[in-house]
Every structure is written in C-alpha cells, then in structure tokens.
Structure 1
Amino acid sequence: MSAAGWFIVLLALVGANLPFLNQRLFAAVPLKAAKKSGWLRIAELIALYFVVGALGFLLEARAGNRFEQGWQFYAITFALFVVFAFPGFTFQYLVKRR
C-alpha cells in the first residue's frame, strides 16, 4: 500500500472520531448548546465521510489510475468509516466520568 493509501486510512480514522471527541461543529465552530446532540454527531460523521472520500478520490486521480466504483464500494467504505468511529463513540457515550 502506498503512502497516499495509508494517509487516507489515517485521515478516515481521525475524521470518524472527530464528531465524538469535541463539542464544536467540525471541531471549529462553537455551538450555543453546551453539548452536541446525537443527530448532529451523525450528520457530522456523514459529512466527514464525504470529505475524506473526496480527498481519497483526488489522491487517486492525482496518481493517474482512477477506477470507477459501484454502490458496493461506497456501502463498504461507509461501514468501515462507522467502525473507525467506535473508539470516539465509546469515549463519548460509554465511558463513565466523575
């Protein structure tokens, strides 16, 4: 696997956990509410999936060997993105805090 491939995997891991590790929208925009809702986290997760996918598409096109993908590819990569989000979800919702 090339360096660009590992970069996309690392970026996907960070992007999938980003909605769960902070209380800001896309880690930049402060919200009026003290805590983000679960629906907002899911929407942010979906948006970050498309951002990471677009960056992967650009890196693949830049390498010169862009391949057409079917719906199966996007279903599998979204499922993998959700699996990557598990550590952040666990930290946010399952770890008890004092």
Structure 2
Amino acid sequence: MSQDAGIYILLALAFVAANLPFLFERILFVLRPAGGSKGFAWRLLELLLLYVAVGLLAQVLETRGHGGAYPQNWEFYATTLSLFVVFAFPGFVYRYLWHGAKRRDAAAQA
C-alpha cells in the first residue's frame, strides 16, 4: 500500500469515527443511558475519545512506516481537532437538525 493510499484510508476512518457519537445512542457504544437518550455532553466526550484513538493510530502508522514519529506542537493538535469537528458535522446535522425536524413535523401533524 502506498503512502497516499494510507493517508486517504486514515482520513476516511477519521470521518467515520467523528460521526459515530451522533449515530448511536449507547454511551461509549456499550452502556444504555438511564434517561433513554444520550446527552450532548456524552457525545462530546465520545468525540474527544475517538479523536485521541484516531490520533494514536496515525502515530502508530507513522512510527511503523518511517521508523519514528515527527514531534508535533500544539498547532498541529488544534488543527487536527478542528478538522475532526468539521468531519463530525454531518452526524450533528442528522442527529440535531434533520432528525429533530422530522420529529417536530410529526408532532405538529398529530
């Protein structure tokens, strides 16, 4: 596998991982929430945990491919976290804007 293909696969994995907290109702993908639905704070925590997991995977792949990972400063982490949040936008729209609008329309028709 070429380096370019690995980068595209990692970006696709980051996109999928960023949307997972908004698609599933289980807390940390295991526990059912007591109130019936998971709150926004849980979704943000899961988003942060998945960002760290994808970042660790990227660092492992970089270390394995080149023999050592290049040291990063805070600017790198601020940029990649911002990109991860942008990747999460479709899931956010589905959960809170589009899916919520369908519920409001159904309630208004009833």
Using structure 1 for the length normalisation, give the TM-score.
Answer: 0.91
User: Given the alignment of the two structures, is residue 80 of structure 1 paired with residue 86 of structure 2, yes or no?
Assistant: no
| Cα distance change of structure 1 residues 28 and 62 upon mapping to structure 2, 3 Å threshold | same
Between the aligned partners of 1:58 and 1:66, the Cα distance in structure 2 is 8
Between the aligned partners of 1:48 and 1:61, the Cα distance in structure 2 is 20
Q: CA deviation at 1:59?
A: 0.6
Residue equivalent to 2:54:
52
| Equivalent residue for 1:89, pick from 89, 92, 97 | 92
Moved more, 62-71 or 38-47: 62-71
Between the aligned partners of 1:86 and 1:2, the Cα distance in structure 2 is 25
Deviations 1:13-66 (A, max 9, x none): 011000001101233433333110000100110010000000000011110152
SS of the counterpart of 2:48? helix
Letter in 1 for 2:80: T
Identity score, percent: 42
SS of the counterpart of 1:2? helix
| Equivalent residue for 1:5, pick from 1, 7, 14 | 7
Structure 1 unmatched ranges of 5 or more:
none
1:11-90 map, 5 Å: 11-64=13-66, 65-90=68-93
Larger Rg: 2
Structure 2 unmatched ranges of 5 or more:
none
CA RMSD of aligned residues (A): 1.3
Using structure 2 for the length normalisation, give the TM-score.
Answer: 0.82
Say whether the 8 Å CA contact 1:18–1:26 is kept in structure 2. Answer: no
